[in-house]
Every structure is written in structure tokens, then in C-alpha cells.
Structure 1
Amino acid sequence: MDLLQWYEKGIEPDVYIESMKKHKENLLAIYDHFQLPDNYTLYAQVKEKQLKVIVLTEDWCGDAMLNIPILLKLAEATNLDVRMLYRDQNLELMDQYLTNETSRSIPIFIFIDTNGNEKATWGPRAKSIQDFVDKAQAKLPNREEADYQDKFKEMILFMNKSFRDNSQFWEHVHKSLEHTLKQIS
């Protein structure tokens, strides 16, 4: 699988954001309010690597709404070149990056070098965000219960609001992405 070809197939982040129908305002709110630390040595180290990033995503995804703006801020500071691919239109690639070998969870960030070699992957969530989601899901009734769908929709609304408004979540995502970038040799 030639990751450089997948990268070339992707769309620019601005085009992706402009086409969003579901979480555009929330994504932009996070982007507008999240600030990277100043004078950070990681930025120069990442710039030297000249990385590209393939983002598997869909605009209905709350995790993408949270994670993509943080990635884009890092991309600006480090000259990461980012391209977006819609998960459902690119299942051949998505199926190479399944979560727990079964789930097409997104977003997935695939970091590649200038030759298209995979250097790292990240996603769909920072561990602390996964813990938050796990706790929220544990409160749901069984799927067979009559009120399951209503409770599930309430949980999604609560999670999306939390993702948009809780700046500590943004920092958890940033730290997790930072950890991944530090591991790239």
C-alpha cells in the first residue's frame, strides 16, 4: 500500500472544514481557542522530519471534532502537511488501521515521511478521553432496553459538548499527540 498515493488523494484541511455539515462550528471553536505552548523544542525537531499526515475522518464524528483542531495547530507550528480522507470512501485504507482489529474508529492520523514510509499512527482518542468515554458508556442501559437510543443520544450530546468546552480535554489530546511525535525517529 503506497501511503504517498493515499496522501495525494486527500483534500486540504480548509476544504474539508468548509464542506463540514455536522461539527464545523464546534471544530472551529476548539481551533480558535486552543493555544500551543510557546518556544517548544519539539516544534523544531518535527519540522526537520518534514512529515506528512493522512487523516481518516468523517464530519459527523465527535472525536474528529475534538482531535483535528489540535492536530492542525501542531501542523501549523511544525510544518506538518495534512490531508484529509473520508473514512467511508476509503475503506481499503481504513481497514489497515482498525481499532482493536475490529472497529473503524476515527479519526486516525497516519504520519509519513517524504517517501511515504509510515512513521507513526495516532487515534482515535487520547487515553484519558477513552477513559471518559468508557465511563459515559458504562452508564448506558443495555441495548435491549426501550430507552437505550434516547440515553445514547443524550450521552453523545454530553460528550460533544464536553469535547467542545473542556479545555483540559484539548490539552490531553495535545499531550498524546506530542508523545507520538516525540517517538518518531
Structure 2
Amino acid sequence: MASVQERPAVVTPERFASGLTYEEYMGRIKVNKDQFESNYQAAPATEDDVAFFKKVIAQRGGLRVLAIAEDWCPDVYRGLPIMAKIAQLSGIELRVFPRDENLDIMDQYLNQGQFRSVPTFACFDGKLNPIGTWHERPRAANETMAKMRADLEKLKLSEEDARAEYRKRIQPEWDNWRRETVRELRELLTQ
């Protein structure tokens, strides 16, 4: 989900530059490395997408994305690789900040004003003027997940069986949601 916000004082050029590159972040993660790698490979980035992001970079004098993440989170190992692949192919300057080590930044970008959701992508132009923020997962995923949970509650399964059935139902959706993530990021950058 996306929103537009002012740049907080904690995001200075120096602070932004202190963030980890995606490669540095990958070098220090402790869990789910295989998930990050497979999601990076599966990340959709068409020629049209790359051309779009390059055009935004040219129009805005650069494009910087501050990503707030934690390696244990499924939304992070699904979403951050998409942003990383787009950044690599189009020239976006991406910096990753582990959330729990950077709560001052996280607290400037709370989801719905209250949740420390990850991943969070704060997008800026080349001079660090804010463009907007994207949180957690695409809207379509939130809607489908809520419906799946409601449907599973009706089945009155044990907690363990419900969790297994939920994972089974949700897995095939991620290809569509990856594409939807790219669409939402494009939409955010045209505001």
C-alpha cells in the first residue's frame, strides 16, 4: 500500500548513504537467504518496467529508495527482492536499513500511522525530496489473504491444519502479487 509523506529530518543524505546496498544486506542476513534468492530470480521486471523506472530517474534527477526490512519476515523476502531487481536493472539507488536497528527511521514511516510494517519502501527523488511510501505487500494480497482467512475460519479446522491449508492456498497467488507490487510501485512514482 502506498502513501505520500514529507521527508523526516532523520533521512539526511549522510544517513541515506549509510544504508546497506542489497548485496551488503544479503551478506549479513541470517535466515531465508534461499527465499530471497528465489524471489529475486522470479521478480518480474519487463523491458517496459525498466524503461518506466529509467524515465522516472531522468525526470526526477535520480531515484532513491530507502528500504526498511527484517530477514525473518515473509513479506520482506518476497518484496525486497522485487525492488532490488528493479533497482539493479534501472539504476535506482537502493539502501536497506534493518528495522530493529533503525527504529527512528521506521517510526517516521509507520503503516497506517501505527504499524512498523516491513518491508517499507520510502521513495525520494535525487535530492531526497519525498515522493511516497509503499508498505508490506500489495493491496490485492491483503484483500485475498483476508478472504482466505475468513473462508478457512468457516471450515473449523485445527490451528495447525488451518495454517497448512492457508499456506497451500496462498502460494500460487505470489506470482500475481509480484506483478502487482511492480504495478503499485509504478503507480506511486506517478503521483
- The TM-score, its normalising length taken from structure 2, stands at 0.79
1:115 CA drift (Å): 2.6
Which residue of structure 2 lines up, in the alignment, with residue 123 of structure 1? 135
**Pair 43,8 (structure 1): closer, same or farther in 2 beyond 3 Å:** closer
Which residue of structure 1 lines up, in the alignment, with residue 185 of structure 2? 177
1:158 CA drift (Å): 4.7
For residues 47-58 of structure 1, the aligned pairs below 5 Å read 47-48=57-58, 49=60, 50-58=62-70
Q: 1:24 aligned to 6, 30, 33, which one? A: 33
Structure 2: which 5+ residue stretches go unaligned? 1-8
1:171 CA drift (Å): 0.8
Structure 1: which 5+ residue stretches go unaligned? 142-146
**Pair 8,159 (structure 1): closer, same or farther in 2 beyond 3 Å:** farther
**Take 2:167 and 2:31, find their aligned partners in 1: how far apart are those partners?**
12
1:20 CA drift (Å): 2.0
Q: Is the 8 A contact 1:3 1:112 kept in 2?
A: no
**Take 1:82 and 1:133, find their aligned partners in 2: how far apart are those partners?**
29
1:110 CA drift (Å): 0.7
**Take 1:159 and 1:7, find their aligned partners in 2: how far apart are those partners?**
38
Q: Deviations over 1:81-126 (max 9, x none)?
A: 1111111111111111111222111110011223322221111221
**Pair 98,54 (structure 1): closer, same or farther in 2 beyond 3 Å:** same
1:104 aligns with 2:116: yes
1:157 CA drift (Å): 4.9
Aligned pairs, how many? 176
1:167 aligns with 2:179: no
For residues 1-185 of structure 1, the aligned pairs below 5 Å read 1-4=9-12, 5-40=14-49, 41-48=51-58, 49=60, 50-138=62-150, 148=159, 150=160, 154=164, 157-158=167-168, 161-162=171-172, 166-183=174-191
1:75 CA drift (Å): 0.9
Q: Is the 8 A contact 1:55 1:109 kept in 2?
A: yes
84-93 vs 113-122, which deviates more? 113-122
Q: Is the 8 A contact 2:152 2:166 kept in 1?
A: no
Which residue of structure 1 lines up, in the alignment, with residue 6 of structure 2? none
Q: Deviations over 1:114-164 (max 9, x none)?
A: 3322221111221101112323443576xxxxx65x46754785588457x
Which residue of structure 2 lines up, in the alignment, with residue 144 of structure 1? none
**Sequence identity percentage:** 24
